[in-house]
Structure 1
Amino acid sequence: MKDMNQVTVRRDLTRLFRPKSIALFGGGWVGNVIAQLQKSGYAGAIWPVNPKRADILGVPCFASIDDLPGAPDAAFVGVNREASIDVVARLSAMGSGGATCFASGFAESEAEGTGGADLQAELVAAAGDMPIVGPNCYGFLNYLDNVTFWPDQHGGLTVESGIAIVGQSSNMAINMTMQARGLPIAYVLTAGNQAQTSLSELGMMALDDPRVTALGLHIEGFGDIRAFEALAALARAKGKPVVVLKSGHSEAAQAATMTHTASLAGGAAASSALIARLGMVEVRSLTTFLEALKLLHFGGPLRDAGIGSVSCSGGEASLMADCALGTAIEWPAFSSKGKARLNAILGPIVTVANPLDYHTFIWGDTERMTDCFAAVLDEQRALCVFVLDLPRPDRCSQAGYRCAVDAIIGAARRTGARAAVLVSMPENLTEDLAAEFSAAGVVPLFGMVEGLEAIDVAIRAGRLAARPAAAPVLLRGAPEGGVVLSEAEAKAALAAHGLDVPQSVTAASAEALAVAAGRLRMPLAVKGQGIAHKTEAGAVKLHIRSPDEAAAAAHAMAGATGFLAEEMVTGAVAELLVGITRDPTGLMMLTLGAGGVMAEMLADTASILLPATNDDIRAALGRLKIAKLLAGWRGAKAADMGAIVRAVQAIAAYAAAEPGLQELDVNPLIATPERAVAVDALIRKA
């Protein structure tokens, strides 16, 4: 099996990403890069290498790499894939600082039989110790130092500080630079095929820059998990939040599976569990990704969930409350002092509540509006949001709204409290006005849903930062082959690690089962062995009260290769599913959920990664819909939560000790007020 615990060695990427000299190899694309460097005001040396041209855009060309005045800090390799290998080898030999490889046709095309994987291996070998980014990669944008190492248009401008975006898709990177949301972008880094330099390594380079405030990752697939853990540790150490947009959720974990767990937990659950474990916050849309990074840039994570909302419309106030459903946002009530202060400003007709509709009685009176907004901000909420949509300037006048703009900015400056202005529709705030708010320390949020989701991200980021760092995840290489243990064998293996299982006997025939069953306490459960899903096949009979009934039940189970009889567990509070699956990335995922024959239909599950603490397990159980059953529903007895946690940890201990485990399923684990007993188990391992 492949070693999944190897940690990627970090290279010094400073010369590559902050170069004082740049060499460029290729034709038309090189001209595009030079055009962008000139446009951004790059102050370093530009050395195009082209034997057929005297200059490109007025920049003199060198006939060959041998004619360069020195080893370049950075090189754009824009030639075909075969020629790229030779250029990279020459650059490495002369001590260059690094290169980006633009050409495609490498490992990403291997499915078409192009031989790209072998060429990619040759490219990495040619680079040696020299850092290379790509191949199949556009390059990077460093807006802090005006290094626009990019063969296409982009929409960014020079900034003094900002967020960094690292992704695998060059096209999506271009799109994000075109944002007009007031988001200061410091770096846009594309990883391409990650043949040598990984997305995680690029992220760490960005985090090391003190001018970077937060990191956004667009991830299509996880590669080196240990490198992601190193990235997370660095982000935590530097106090910089990380937001993740994960696409390309794989369903490979659901293919060719036998267990209930595997049918309920796919690749998306594993990736989401990993992101949360690393202390990063996952989002589902590109617009929320950008809005969240903006809010985190202007002030970092939120210290708590208490949010204030201010608008001059009851409809907006209600919609803010509705759109926040399902988020971590809370709307704390005003203190009695704050309420009295607002009543004095707004008058007796206005109901003071949060979200606040201050009506239009004070509209146009900038001083009173400022006093009103300052009174709200003085309540010391984590963040106060002012809902303000302005008329479109091409057809209407915004002059009548200047009072609100000035009052929001004035109140924020007076109080020093954290404030944001939110437009319910993105088109209702111009980029210039967004810049004015930003300069005053008021964060402009575009879109009510996206803005509230960004606030939710900032709250969750604060909670994750306060949580202790998690232990490294358990990783397993892909096991070869596979064998399914019998139920008795699976239970015995798990019992050896402390799992509570019923007393049982096995037999090869119905007659032998009748003899053996007499040693057990009635009632019994009789099961046919050698059948994956016993209940559906009619291979489970319950409430057997005599040896003769056990024999009759066994005779009725066609296709069974043997039989098991065990003492039934009574007094169940709930039936649970506890399963472990190996994700294609090597992650070992623990899934907890409602169990029994209704497991797939209820689909009530929570997934965490191994190893898991007792608190992790309790928190996952608390997220289940059946958590109320476990706690004692309508006066019924509660389950023994300590016993459940011990049972889950016993199952996890087996997984940690069995390197060849492919999937494991305990269903059901019967939870009673006194114990937690595994009455069925399935294990597939190498």
Structure 2
Amino acid sequence: MTPEQRKNFDRLLNPRHIAFVGGADAIVAIGEARRRGFSGEYWPVNPKREDLAGISCFASVDDLPRAPDAVFLAVPRDAAVQTIEKLATMGAGGVVCYTAGFKEAGAEGEAAEHALKEAVGEMALIGPNCYGMINYLDNAALWPFAHGGDCPGYGAAIITQSGMFSSDITMSQRSVPLAYMISAGNQTVLSLEDYIEILSEKPAVRAIGVHIEGLQDIPRFAQVSLKALKLNIPIVALKSGSSDIGRSLTFSHTGSLSGSKELYEALFERTGVISVTSPSQFLETLKYLCVVGAPCGNRVSGFTCSGGGATMLADHAENIGLVFPPFDEDSTNKLISILPSIATVSNPLDYTTPIWGQPEFTAPVFEQAISLSNADATILVQDYPAAGLDESKFLYQNDAIAFADAAAKAETPAAICATIPENMDAETRSHLINLGVAPMQGVHESLNAMAAAANWRQERSRILAHSPKLLKVKAIPETLSILEEVEGKELLSRANISIPAGSDVRGKGVVEAAVQIGFPVVLKMMGPKLAHKTEAGAVELDLQNSEDVSGALERMRLKVTSYNPDAVTDRFLIEKMAEPPIAELFVSIRQDPQFGYAITIGSGGILVELVGDAKTLLLPTSNEEIKGAIASLKVSRLLEGFRGKPKVDLDVLCMSLFNLTEFVLSNLDQITEVEINPLFVYEKEVLAVDVLVHSGRSS
């Protein structure tokens, strides 16, 4: 985005005048601008009609009184390109190009999209093939369908790659405060990354929601996400879809452990983006962040008027890392003195029905419990009665007000949660937002949102303290070649990764080499079609003497012949049999065309695909991030000294892996992908037992 496009985007976002170019779709867009309350000038353009929506038409954009700040364009594709060229010459601000039929329509459409991009000049253009833009703050809309949504003066900026999903959000019964809505479409001129960069600077934006089908520029997304993080603006991402990114993974296990989903999650973790997996969680998380912000920690005080509700809170919180700290003896006695005799003091606290709806009794309970629990956030469960059955609604409202006041006094982020999402009506949701309380819908969604917000705040401090380096992305080699294992190991030894003592020999020299190395030994056949030797029968372990080696040699030739006659060679690697490790890891470093280089660490050996216990980090990474990745694995229990076994020095292990990543990034001309499986882990060292190294060449 150029500086002039940036200025023009601001014109598009908050226009003084809007030109509506088209027919029936333009009429709808005029209606939506009116619905939103746009008070600027309306300029319909249509050469065949006298008026659109009761407003006199201009025959052409050439006849407009001046260059419009914003244009809603809904004409056929070729006419759209011609109109954009005219608007650019006039000095118009920006265009929402509702017109479809561009790159999504094949080669002809792709050529038209290229022409559109050439014609746009310095204008800001959303789309094409998009729904457009809604500015809830300043009451401007360039939108082709009926839309809803409210803004209390602040809210979320939501950017989607699906027009229908953006429309669905505006109609949702969730009361998410909205500041801006952008349907990005084909992103021919302005990209999702551009929108994040601009909208994160808007004072009224408290969070950004992005629905992602795929990103165009991963390093730029990382850059603008970190910018938002620095500005204290959380980003919540709902990633949908998957893609085949495995064209460089012909020979390795990595594709089953680190695909598109894992790489996106690694990107989000690196940049502090909150990742969610459902539309409802997307909206509830944004709502919580916009209304009350991110808590300082994960300690929560909870309130219900039902023992069942308290149990639901406690059960799910335990699964997601939220803590309801118990009251100590002194605090318990203080609460006993102000609670009914039937109440049991606990956190979450069932304050019981005898005082329900009576703020003279519930207010002191809320105030004392929030204060005594030293909570970072607080939540009250309330399922409101349905219309027509709501004669008791004022009692719910009494407790809600008392709870809101208590949370405000304690300066604690507060939420009121309906156990069943639809059990909170629109009037109540609006009322709670006015009280400064997040009206949350669904126990799990509410607690998930609280946990995500608290974790975001902690991760923000960690990420900004270490200033992540820019991602390193380069072209994927067109051809890949596998280095023989002995060559790959020699390469890794330069990265200070220990390898077993061994010798590269022909068949007739295998026994002599084994004697020189010293028993027990391991025998492996090497060859270009033996990437995974175990599957081919090309490995024999724990050979104790010369006779074992001779027998293994004959068996191996027969097994590999049965596996693939063309894979048989007369080249062998004879190595010293390694001592049993404390744990076995799988380690892979590989290249992706969008994300650049990534390291995947997981449980190794035969468990690599069976267990699927793995974590992916984008490169360059840090020692600290590697340590965090290892801690997240199930195999980490072995490293900590499981059942009396020695404890691994994690600093040594993490430094070895970090040095390996730095070595690979410094030798990209020689290394495209590395797979070590298993990597034997001992107390003070690691040993690369099996190694697969790919080198590649781009044209």
Shared fold, TM over 0.5: yes
1:234 aligns with 2:227: yes
Inter-partner Cα distance in structure 2 for 1:502 and 1:244: 45
Moved more, 254-263 or 438-447: 254-263
Q: Which residue is equivalent to 1:666?
A: 676
- For 1:403-442, list aligned pairs within 5 A: 403-442=398-437
Could you say if the C-alpha distance between residues 194 and 637 of structure 1 is closer, same or farther in structure 2, counting changes exceeding 3 Å?
same
Question: How far off its partner does 1:664 sit?
Answer: 2.2
Q: Which residue is equivalent to 1:543?
A: 542
Query: When the two structures are aligned, how many residues end up with a matched partner?
Result: 677
Q: Which residue is equivalent to 1:609?
A: 618
Q: Which residue is equivalent to 1:165?
A: 158
Inter-partner Cα distance in structure 2 for 1:416 and 1:474: 43
Instruction: State whether residues 62 and 86 of structure 2, in contact with CA within 8 Å, keep that contact through their aligned partners in structure 1.
Output: no
AA aligned to 2:54 is G
1:319 aligns with 2:312: yes
Instruction: Tell me the TM-score normalised to structure 2 length.
Output: 0.93
Instruction: Tell me the TM-score normalised to structure 1 length.
Output: 0.95
Instruction: State whether residues 476 and 659 of structure 1, in contact with CA within 8 Å, keep that contact through their aligned partners in structure 2.
Output: no
- Runs of 4+ in structure 1 deviating by more than 6 angstroms, as ranges, are 6-10
Q: Which residue is equivalent to 2:285?
A: 292
Instruction: State whether residues 301 and 379 of structure 2, in contact with CA within 8 Å, keep that contact through their aligned partners in structure 1.
Output: yes
1:517 aligns with 2:511: no
- For 1:241-640, list aligned pairs within 5 A: 241-253=234-246, 257-379=250-372, 380-397=374-391, 398-467=393-462, 468=465, 469-507=467-505, 509-530=506-527, 531-558=530-557, 559-561=567-569, 562-640=571-649
Instruction: State whether residues 159 and 211 of structure 2, in contact with CA within 8 Å, keep that contact through their aligned partners in structure 1.
Output: yes
AA aligned to 2:504 is T
Question: How far off its partner does 1:657 sit?
Answer: 2.6
- Counterpart selection for 1:122 from 115, 118, 141: 115
Instruction: State whether residues 307 and 383 of structure 1, in contact with CA within 8 Å, keep that contact through their aligned partners in structure 2.
Output: yes
Inter-partner Cα distance in structure 2 for 1:454 and 1:261: 32
5+ residue gaps, structure 1, are: 1-5
Moved more, 409-418 or 146-155: 409-418
Superposed CA offset, 1:378-401 (max 9, x none)? 234111101111211223422443
AA aligned to 2:365 is C
Question: How far off its partner does 1:192 sit?
Answer: 0.7
SS at match of 1:182: coil
CA RMSD of aligned residues (A): 2.1
Q: Going by fraction, where is helix more abundant, 1 or 2?
A: 2
Inter-partner Cα distance in structure 2 for 1:228 and 1:10: 19
SS at match of 2:196: helix
Instruction: State whether residues 482 and 694 of structure 2, in contact with CA within 8 Å, keep that contact through their aligned partners in structure 1.
Output: yes
Inter-partner Cα distance in structure 2 for 1:358 and 1:473: 52
Instruction: State whether residues 2 and 122 of structure 2, in contact with CA within 8 Å, keep that contact through their aligned partners in structure 1.
Output: no
Inter-partner Cα distance in structure 2 for 1:256 and 1:287: 35
Inter-partner Cα distance in structure 2 for 1:101 and 1:497: 53
Question: How far off its partner does 1:129 sit?
Answer: 2.4
Instruction: State whether residues 159 and 181 of structure 2, in contact with CA within 8 Å, keep that contact through their aligned partners in structure 1.
Output: yes
Question: How far off its partner does 1:336 sit?
Answer: 4.0
Q: Which residue is equivalent to 1:151?
A: 144
Question: How far off its partner does 1:652 sit?
Answer: 1.1
Question: How far off its partner does 1:413 sit?
Answer: 4.6
Question: How far off its partner does 1:79 sit?
Answer: 1.2
Inter-partner Cα distance in structure 1 for 2:638 and 2:502: 28
Inter-partner Cα distance in structure 1 for 2:223 and 2:684: 42
Inter-partner Cα distance in structure 1 for 2:405 and 2:651: 55
Q: Which residue is equivalent to 2:561?
A: none
Question: How far off its partner does 1:16 sit?
Answer: 1.5
Q: Which residue is equivalent to 1:645?
A: 654
Question: How far off its partner does 1:666 sit?
Answer: 0.4
Moved more, 324-333 or 310-319: 324-333
Inter-partner Cα distance in structure 2 for 1:610 and 1:10: 32
AA aligned to 1:572 is P
Instruction: State whether residues 21 and 72 of structure 1, in contact with CA within 8 Å, keep that contact through their aligned partners in structure 2.
Output: yes
Inter-partner Cα distance in structure 1 for 2:399 and 2:320: 28
Superposed CA offset, 1:589-639 (max 9, x none)? 211111012211121111111111111111111111111111111111122
Inter-partner Cα distance in structure 1 for 2:396 and 2:40: 46
Instruction: State whether residues 581 and 681 of structure 2, in contact with CA within 8 Å, keep that contact through their aligned partners in structure 1.
Output: yes
Instruction: State whether residues 523 and 543 of structure 1, in contact with CA within 8 Å, keep that contact through their aligned partners in structure 2.
Output: yes
Inter-partner Cα distance in structure 2 for 1:231 and 1:553: 57
Moved more, 140-149 or 541-550: 541-550
Instruction: State whether residues 201 and 227 of structure 1, in contact with CA within 8 Å, keep that contact through their aligned partners in structure 2.
Output: no
Moved more, 477-486 or 170-179: 477-486
SS at match of 1:444: strand
Q: Which residue is equivalent to 2:102?
A: 106
Could you say if the C-alpha distance between residues 453 and 672 of structure 1 is closer, same or farther in structure 2, counting changes exceeding 3 Å?
same
- Counterpart selection for 1:43 from 39, 49, 52: 39
1:677 aligns with 2:687: yes
Question: How far off its partner does 1:498 sit?
Answer: 2.1
Moved more, 99-108 or 286-295: 99-108
Q: Which residue is equivalent to 1:30?
A: 26
Could you say if the C-alpha distance between residues 208 and 482 of structure 1 is closer, same or farther in structure 2, counting changes exceeding 3 Å?
same
Question: How far off its partner does 1:254 sit?
Answer: 7.8
- For 1:84-103, list aligned pairs within 5 A: 84-103=80-99
Could you say if the C-alpha distance between residues 458 and 586 of structure 1 is closer, same or farther in structure 2, counting changes exceeding 3 Å?
closer
Instruction: State whether residues 526 and 550 of structure 1, in contact with CA within 8 Å, keep that contact through their aligned partners in structure 2.
Output: yes
Inter-partner Cα distance in structure 2 for 1:46 and 1:262: 54
Inter-partner Cα distance in structure 2 for 1:117 and 1:19: 30
Q: Which residue is equivalent to 1:75?
A: 71
AA aligned to 1:473 is L
Instruction: State whether residues 92 and 130 of structure 1, in contact with CA within 8 Å, keep that contact through their aligned partners in structure 2.
Output: yes
Could you say if the C-alpha distance between residues 664 and 413 of structure 1 is closer, same or farther in structure 2, counting changes exceeding 3 Å?
closer
AA aligned to 1:395 is L
Instruction: State whether residues 500 and 688 of structure 2, in contact with CA within 8 Å, keep that contact through their aligned partners in structure 1.
Output: yes
AA aligned to 2:282 is F
AA aligned to 2:614 is T
AA aligned to 2:477 is P
Inter-partner Cα distance in structure 2 for 1:456 and 1:48: 48
Instruction: State whether residues 292 and 414 of structure 2, in contact with CA within 8 Å, keep that contact through their aligned partners in structure 1.
Output: no
Could you say if the C-alpha distance between residues 277 and 182 of structure 1 is closer, same or farther in structure 2, counting changes exceeding 3 Å?
same
Q: Which residue is equivalent to 1:3?
A: none
Inter-partner Cα distance in structure 1 for 2:404 and 2:681: 57
AA aligned to 1:642 is D
Inter-partner Cα distance in structure 1 for 2:648 and 2:612: 21
Superposed CA offset, 1:525-553 (max 9, x none)? 11111212111221111112345533432
Moved more, 201-210 or 401-410: 401-410
Inter-partner Cα distance in structure 2 for 1:682 and 1:167: 41
Instruction: State whether residues 42 and 147 of structure 1, in contact with CA within 8 Å, keep that contact through their aligned partners in structure 2.
Output: yes
SS at match of 1:471: coil
AA aligned to 1:53 is R
SS at match of 1:136: coil
Instruction: State whether residues 305 and 330 of structure 1, in contact with CA within 8 Å, keep that contact through their aligned partners in structure 2.
Output: yes
AA aligned to 1:607 is T
Inter-partner Cα distance in structure 2 for 1:610 and 1:7: 29
SS at match of 1:208: coil
Q: Which residue is equivalent to 1:55?
A: 51
